Amino acid sequence: MAAQAIDQLIQLEDYRVSDTAAVLMALLSSSLAICMHDDTRGAGGVLHLRYAATHNGRPIELTDNTLSSNLLMLDRFCKEMRGLGARKTSWRVRLVGHIPSNVGMEAPAASVIDLLRAYFADTRLAVECKEIKRDKDVLLRLDSHSGKIVVTDAPPRG
In degrees and rounded to multiples of 5, residue 124 shows phi and psi of 60, 35
Q: What angle do CA 51, 52, 55 make, to 5 degrees?
A: 140
Amino acid present at 11: Q
Whether the CB-CB separation of 102 and 46 falls below 8 Å is answered with: no
Q: Report pLDDT for 151.
A: 96
Whether the CB-CB separation of 29 and 3 falls below 8 Å is answered with: no
Written as tens digits, the pLDDT of the chain (158 aa) is 455 668 999 999 999 999 988 999 999 988 899 999 998 999 999 999 987 655 555 555 555 556 677 888 999 999 999 999 988 888 999 999 998 876 666 676 777 888 888 888 887 888 999 999 888 999 999 999 999 999 999 988 76
Whether the CB-CB separation of 18 and 43 falls below 8 Å is answered with: yes
CA-based nearest residue to 24, from 41, 5, 2: 5
Q: What is the pTM of this model?
A: 0.87
Domains of the chain (ranges, CATH numbers) = 6-152 (3.30.1330.200)
Q: Report pLDDT for 1.
A: 44
Q: How many angstroms separate the CA atoms of 152 and 155, rounded? A: 9
Q: Report pLDDT for 111.
A: 76
Whether the CB-CB separation of 49 and 103 falls below 8 Å is answered with: no
Q: Report pLDDT for 49.
A: 92
- Residues sharing a CB contact under 8 Å with residue 85, sequence separation 6 or more, in sequence order: 19, 41, 43
Q: Report pLDDT for 47.
A: 97
